[in-house]
Amino acid sequence: MTNYQQRAPEAMIYQICLRGQLDQTWAEWFAGLEIVALTNGDTLLVGLIADQAALYGLIKKIRDLGMPLISLMPLNSTTSSFNPHEQV
């Protein structure tokens, strides 16, 4: 068993951009996602999100804070060609 296989098959890294800055104290509220302050005053939330349900749950949390959502993007990392286990 390798590490990547232990992840849920649907798990994906997402990058979510919000209008306004949040400090690190919000990391726990957002299920451990990394919080990155951008120089233009926006915030990036980055991290592994287990599945679509978790993604929607997160969007709902953002909605309930009234924070404007600017973008949401999946990042291809689990299929990186540098990972020897991924060779088919």
Q: Which residue has the tokens 């929607």?
A: 56
Q: Choose between 22 and 33: whose C-beta lies nearer to other proteins.
A: 22
Q: Choose between 68 and 74: whose C-beta lies nearer to other proteins.
A: 68
Residue 49 CB contacts under 8 Å (≥ 6 apart), including other chains: 11, 12, 13, 14, 33, 55, 58
Q: Does 11 contact other proteins by CB under 8 A? A: no
The pairing of strands 43-49 and 34-37 is: antiparallel
Q: Does 21 contact other proteins by CB under 8 A? A: yes
Enumerate binding residues for other proteins (CB under 8 A): 18, 20-23, 25-26, 28-29, 37, 40-43, 63-68
